[in-house]
Every structure is written in structure tokens, then in C-alpha cells.
Chains A and B, each alone.
Chain A
């Protein structure tokens, strides 16, 4: 079920920018188009790039926003989830309670 929906219509979560758009919807009640535009502007990408895992893998790495683990190409210096969430909070202007205080 989750795989079918993810492939059919999902934004790819941490593989792309789905989690960032989701945060704006949940925390601010922002509608999808506005949330996508907001994230794209903050990242300096196009809206179309937000669900593209190749583009977002690079962008997330550069901005230290966290990304999926890769056994073939490890990134030992990538941030921990809590550090990544602090960067996400700063990027999006959100207060993320689980980012560590």
C-alpha cells in the first residue's frame, strides 16, 4: 500500500523534498501549491525539482538537510537527523520541536 501510493503520486519524502513540503502543510496549514513554491524559493530550485531525487540529493547534501542512507556512497559528514532538522527549521522558518533543544 505505501509503496504503491509513493510510486503513483508521492513526493518521495527524504529522497527528494516531500518532507519539507509536508512540514509546511502540517505546521502552517499551507496548501500544496503554495508550500511547493515556498520550498522551491527557499532552496533556490524550480518547483519541478522538488520531487526529483537526483536534484534534491545534491541540494539536501549541500544544505545539510539530511538525506537517505547510501551504502554504496556513504556521507560520513552528513548531519544527524536532529542537526538536519535544525537546518530545515532555519530554512523554512519553522519551529521544529524534535530538532533538539
Chain B
């Protein structure tokens, strides 16, 4: 009788699978991505390596010594750690973080604009207390510019009414406002000493959200040649909520990670973070094979560092606030071993 190994579903719950069943999960995961993304599936040797990682009773898995990568963090720290800056210091001193990120709980550039002076002072304090790079991060968050929270029409209401033109016009208006806010906040935090700016979960509001991010990056790069700029994505496909937007000739709707990376590096970012969302009903093995298949084409076109998103619910990591280390460590190792990327 074949031995069974404890592994996880995408929600973090434990299940036990045989080596044959794990192999099938990996093969189905890569085929799912290949079909959806019209991408080549992972190679046999890669699937065999993943199988060795998952068909193991070890509680933890890790990369080989010498294969370590840079760990960049979005929204660093929690309330249990005291003040925001104290939390950053704990990440530096106790958690071996290579970088950390000061953030506001609203995590939206539009919201931060109203408290930017407070954020600048917090950044100054962080820079006085930490040695590792301290980035500032928030989300482009285009939805906040639509009614009733913002001044633009609400495209989520306009689209079901088949008012396509109005929905598109509202998004175009929101893009202009979002770019202005992102550039304003990023510049303010850069002047306060930030080592870099993170645009996190870019494209969460669709192609207009992603366009706003790219235009902000482009404008910041033109003004600050030495600014570190990281763009982390929200998903494996850019949703076409507008449908007709392009960045310098590249249509944004439907872009997969490699295409996302190409426009991000063209805009002038220095680090790109692909994100592939987790299916909570499938195993971590299925999810990581799917995620790697989507992300792998990035490595062939990357001129800038690629840091895969491997937080809660992305990059194979279970969608759970208390994701188990057996699953996290396997996803961490799998990304490094298969993709040979620059960071996580």
C-alpha cells in the first residue's frame, strides 16, 4: 500500500495524499495553467522535483545553501508588535527581513494622501531606527475613485446597465486622479527618506487600475532616476474592466505575468512581483504547479529582479491567516528552485 503524506488544501486544511496522487495534482495544476494561459506546461524534470518536495513527511522544506534569495515585504508588521516603526525594527532584528515596508492601515494611495504628513514623519523615524531598506507601500486602488467614495462614475454599476461608454469614461477620469495621487504620495515619502516605493496589488481594479500604476511609475522614473520602484500584481490575468486601454501600444486587458512584467519594466520599475491566486478547493501541490506555470515565462524576459508574491492566498500559499509552515516553506522553495528568481 502506497504511503500517504500530509499536505494541504488551498484553504490550509490538512489532507493526506499518496505520491501518485501528488503527482496527479502537480500535473493537473500545470495543465490547468497551460490551458488557461496558453502557456507551456512545466517540464517533466521540474514536476519530478516538485514531487520530491511534496512527497515528504518533513515538516519543513528549504532551498539549498547558497540558493538564498532576497525577501521583500509588503505591509510589514502587525498591531501586536507595538508601533508601526517598532514592528519594522522587529522584522529587521528578529525576523531576518531583507527589506521592510512602512504602510498605513488603509493601504490606498488615495487615503494616504490625506495623512501624508504623518506618513512622512513615520518614515523619518523609521529611517533613523533601521538599517535595512524601508520602503513605503500602498495600493493604486482605483475603485475608491468611483461613487459614492469618489468623484467618478461607478463603472461597476454602469457596466451592468450596458452603459459601456460611460463606464469607460469614468475609469479614464479615475486614472488621471489616481496617477496624481500616487505621484504625490510617492514623491512625499521619497523626500522623507524612503528607500523605495511599492505599488502593491496593481491591477486589482482591472486594466485601468494597472494603467494608472504604469503611468505613475513612468512619471516618477522621469523625475527621480535613482528611485527604487516595485510593482506587485494582483493576479495572473489583468481583467479588462475597460477593455480598450493600452500602455505605449500594449493592450493591458488579458496580460499574463510575462506581459505584465514587460510593461512594468518599460515604465521604469526596478522590481516586479507576479501574483497567481490560489484555488482554495485544490491542493497546495496543484496550486504551486499552476502558479509556477504562469510565472515561469517571466524569467525569460526579465531585465529587472522578479520577486514572486507568496503571501496569503497567492503563489500557492494557503488562503489562511495562519498558513502552516509546511505549506509555506514548500511554496517558498518551489519558487526558488524552479524559477531561479531574484526574490520573494
Interface, chain A (partner B; CB < 8 A) = 1-15, 18-19, 21-23, 25-32, 35, 47-48, 50-51, 65-66, 68-69, 81-82, 84-85, 88, 94-100
B residues with CB within 8 A of A: 60-63, 65-73, 91-93, 95-99, 123, 126-135, 190-191, 193-196, 226, 228, 230, 265, 269-271, 302-305, 310-312, 317, 323, 325, 328-329, 332-333, 335-336, 341-344
Of the candidates B128, B133, B230, B310, the one whose C-beta lies within 8 Å of that of A23 is: B133
A50 to B328, CA, bound (A): 24
Q: Are A26 and B228 in contact (CB under 8 A)?
A: yes
Interface pair A9/B98, CB less than 8 Å apart: no
Q: Are the CB atoms of B93 and A9 closer together than 8 Å?
A: no
A29 touches B131 (CB 8 A): no
Q: A3-B95, A68-B93 are in contact. Are A11 and B333 (CB under 8 A)?
A: no
A residues less than 8 Å from B312 (CB atoms): 1
Distance (Å) between the CB of A86 and the closest chain B CB?
Answer: 11
The reply to whether A6 and B127 contact each other, CB–CB distance below 8 Å, is no
Residues of A within 8 A of B196 (CB): 26-27
A14 to B88, CA, bound (A): 13
Main secondary structure of the interface of A (DSSP, over half): helix
Contacts A5-B344, A8-B63, A18-B71; A84 near B131 (Cβ below 8 A) = yes
- The smallest C-beta distance from B333 to any residue of chain A, in angstroms, reads 6
Complex Cα distance, B302 from A66, in Å, reads: 32
Besides the known contacts A1-B317, A9-B335, 8 further A-B residue pairs in the complex with CB atoms under 8 A apart: A4-B329, A9-B63, A18-B98, A26-B133, A32-B69, A50-B68, A82-B127, A97-B194
Return A46 CB to nearest CB of chain B, in Å. Answer: 10
Residues of A within 8 A of B190 (CB): 97
Find A5's partner among B269, B305, B310 (CB 8 Å cutoff). B310
Is A98 touching B228 in the complex (CB atoms < 8 A)?
no
CB–CB A7/B62 < 8 A: yes
Q: Give which listed residue, A11, A27, A82, A84, contacts B98 with CB less than 8 A.
A: A11
What A residues does B302 contact at CB under 8 A?
A: 31
Q: A1, B271: Cβ atoms under 8 Å?
A: no
Task: Tell me if B230 and A26 are in contact (CB < 8 A).
Answer: yes
A-B pairs with beta carbons under 8 Å apart, 5 shown: A13-B71, A26-B72, A66-B131, A85-B131, A98-B194
Q: Which chain B residue has the least Cβ–Cβ distance from A30?
A: B305
- The smallest C-beta distance from B275 to any residue of chain A, in angstroms, reads 15
Structural contact, A26 and B69, CB atoms closer than 8 A: no
Ordered nearest first, which 7 A-B pairs have the shortest CB separation?
A98-B127, A18-B98, A26-B228, A98-B193, A29-B270, A66-B131, A32-B342
Chain A CB count within 10 A is highest, among B61, B194, B328, B341, for B328
| B62:A13 contact, CB within 8 angstroms | no
Chain B residues whose C-beta falls within 8 Å of the C-beta of A95 in the assembled complex:
226
Residues of the B chain whose Cβ atoms lie less than 8 Å from the Cβ of A10: 68-71, 96-98, 344
